[in-house]
Amino acid sequence: MKLLVTAFFMILAMLPAPGMAGTLDIDVTGVLGPVLQGSDAIRLSGATFTATGAIDASGVPVGISGGAYVYDLSGDVQITLGLLTLTGYNPELILSAPSSGPDTAILDFSVTEYGFAPVVEAFLTLPPGTLNGPGVQPFSASVSEPDSYVTYALPGEEDVIYASLGITGNASMGGTPPASAPEPGTVGLLAAGLALAIAMKNMKKKGHSR
């Protein structure tokens, strides 16, 4: 019996740990305004802003700067701006969870529409403790101006048109990893547990037969 239990724990030690699989949805929704800096040349103040995308639930940072982790998203970001539907290219998500003060999530991307290519950044200030470190993780929080804002920079004929507008709404990262197929580590763990249970049951039967 001791040998069997020892073998069971040896199997557990060799199994890969179950990990988070699939992707997590990213959703930012809010109303823009007021204008905090610059000139709102394209009159976005008062417009509804949404950004939706996805990130690998097991994603690793592509960069680290001052405690903030930078991640590439899984594909483009879909944007609605008032009545417009746009696509955000080359999106990145930057997460920061300092030991004191608010957490932050920054979503930046570029848009190419109607011959223009503005660079957009949504800077979202989250309540302290929203994030458990700067890793990829589910979260949901309300955001509000002026601490949270959206900026855009649009090259003009003579100068760069820049504006920073507050955003009030919600930001979340969540979703359920696919459950159709357990992780390799989970399969091995279930198999090892089942084998141990069967072996113990057989040993009890042999003991009673004596």
Q: Whole-prediction pTM value?
A: 0.73
Amino acid letter, residue 121: E
Q: What is the mean pLDDT of the chain?
A: 80
The CA-atom distances, in angstroms, between 49 and each of 13, 39, 68, 167, 171 are: 48, 18, 25, 8, 11
According to DSSP, the β-strands at 119-126 and 149-155 are: antiparallel
pLDDT, tens only, 22-42: 999 999 999 999 999 998 888
Residue 92, both tokens? 């990145």
The CA-atom distances, in angstroms, between 99 and each of 94, 102, 118, 129, 133 are: 17, 9, 34, 9, 9
Query: What distance lies between CA 8 and its chain's CA centroid?
Result: 36
According to DSSP, the residues that pair with 30 across neighbouring strands are 49, 169
Overall average pLDDT of the 67-73 stretch: 97
pLDDT band with cut points at 50, 70 and 90 for residue 114: low
Overall average pLDDT of the 86-113 stretch: 95
Amino acid letter, residue 148: S
pLDDT for the residue 32: 98
pLDDT band with cut points at 50, 70 and 90 for residue 83: confident
pLDDT for the residue 95: 98
The CA-atom distances, in angstroms, between 10 and each of 15, 104, 148, 168, 173 are: 9, 42, 50, 53, 37
pLDDT for the residue 178: 41
pLDDT for the residue 71: 98
Give the C-alpha separation, 155 to 57, whole Å: 35
Concatenated DSSP letters for 43-65?
Answer: --TT-EEEEEEEEETT---SEEE
Q: Is the pLDDT of residue 118 over 60?
A: yes
Give the C-alpha separation, 167 to 189, whole Å: 46
Q: Is the pLDDT of residue 139 over 90?
A: yes
Nearest to 178 by CA among 24, 53, 43: 24
Which one is predicted more confidently, 208 or 192? 208
**31 within 8 A of 169, measured Cβ to Cβ:** yes
Nearest to 117 by CA among 77, 52, 161, 60: 161
pLDDT, tens only, 164-206: 999 999 999 994 444 433 444 433 433 444 444 445 555 555 5
pLDDT for the residue 42: 83
pLDDT band with cut points at 50, 70 and 90 for residue 56: very high
Q: Name the residue ranges covered by the structural domains of the chain.
A: 23-174, 182-209
